[in-house]
Amino acid sequence: MTGKRIKGSRSAADNLRPVTHTKLHEQIVSQIQDLIQSGNLQPGDRLPPERALSEIFGASRHSVREAIRCLEQQGMLKSRVGSGTFVILEDSSPLSEFLAVAVHREKHKISEIFQFRRMIEPQIAGLAAQHATLPDILHLEAIVRDQSQALHDSVLTGAYDQKFHIALARATKNSVLFHIVERITDVLTHVRDKASQTDYRKKRSLEGHQTILSAVREGDPEKARRAMEKHLAVIEQTIIDNGSK
């Protein structure tokens, strides 16, 4: 099956066709599998929303959900609440799971967690500055804008913090890095919990994201790396300071 890669609902019609027979979810599964195997859908790509898929396939939303569930069980898709459904790289799962377990095991050792983050996230920021497309930048801008408007809400602020780092990893176009960051971010939720979201930290987090975004927008890898290094150092220190009070 040929066509452009799916980046969102706008291009989906170029790749998918209505289904017409029984066991509709199996036909949907088959079409999406074909797109993944042909490279038209790649790890990190997001599928159109469920409603849009239902219209494209000419099938019920129940059939679409059933197909997505089957593909998740096969390790080809992953649904994230509030973010959408993404193609994942099954081969990277053992590595990401190993790292996730390691981070979770040391979740109370803040300095070691940030040491690990400093090893990979500045490089991610640099790659994002090199490879981010206009849609990637617009998505990052929207997250930062939402974060700036939610400083009064610690839960929302933590959620936007998480979304920013995942979106940055997606912008690298490196599916292994994206999958690792996505998995590890899930187990770092405690670092962004409501109790640790002081007003000072929320403001510094926003400032850090704005600086990183600026470097990505400029396409400056070195500036993006430095911005991420500073951002992680500032956030680590605010967590340590808050914990010592």
DSSP state letters, 45-68: PBPPPHHHHHHHHTS-HHHHHHHH
Looking up residue 164, the CATH number of its domain turns out to be 1.20.120.530
* Structural domain span for residue 130: 91-243
Query: Which of these three, 39, 72, 88, is where a domain ends?
Result: 88
Is residue 3 one of the residues assigned to a domain? Answer: no
Per-residue pLDDT, 2? 44
| pLDDT top residue among 76 and 241 | 76
181 and 63 inside one domain:
no
The total number of structural domains in the chain stands at 2
Looking up residue 37, the CATH number of its domain turns out to be 1.10.10.10
Q: Are 36 and 44 in contact (CB under 8 A)?
A: no
pTM score above 0.85: no
76 and 170 inside one domain:
no
Q: What values do phi and psi take at 189, rounded to 5?
A: -55, -35
Q: What is the pLDDT of residues 164-217, one digit of tens each?
A: 999 999 999 988 888 778 777 765 665 555 445 678 888 999 999 999 999 999
Is residue 71 one of the residues assigned to a domain? Answer: yes
Per-residue pLDDT, 226? 97
101 and 120 inside one domain:
yes
